[in-house]
Amino acid sequence: MEEGICKSYYPTDCLGENIMTKGKRNKNITTFDEHIDKRYGKIGTKKRTEFEIKAKAFAIGEIIKEERRLASITQEQLAG
């Protein structure tokens, strides 16, 4: 990692510690991964796999829709 530049999605210092909590964790707060695990099961379970397939299909559809909008073409033109 480059000195002074943090490349993390969550607000962390360059050592990887969460800046917002600095070692303290509120037991009532869950991470996004914990929430997904609780709602859809652990990675590899049938329910989780079905969720991930649907989520990825939705995301791809949204990307296609946005790219089509930027290119100013209709769905029929894209299909044809």
| pLDDT lower than 70: segments of the chain | 1-25
This prediction has a pTM of: 0.58
Q: Which residue has the tokens 């707060």?
A: 29
- pLDDT at residue number 16: 59
Q: Which residue has the tokens 């652990």?
A: 42
DSSP letter at 15?
A: T
- pLDDT at residue number 4: 47
Structure tokens at 76: 């029929």
State how far Cα 69 lies from the chain centre: 23
- pLDDT at residue number 6: 47
- pLDDT at residue number 24: 67
pLDDT, tens digit (0-9, with 9 covering 90-100), for 14-36: 655 655 555 666 778 889 999 99
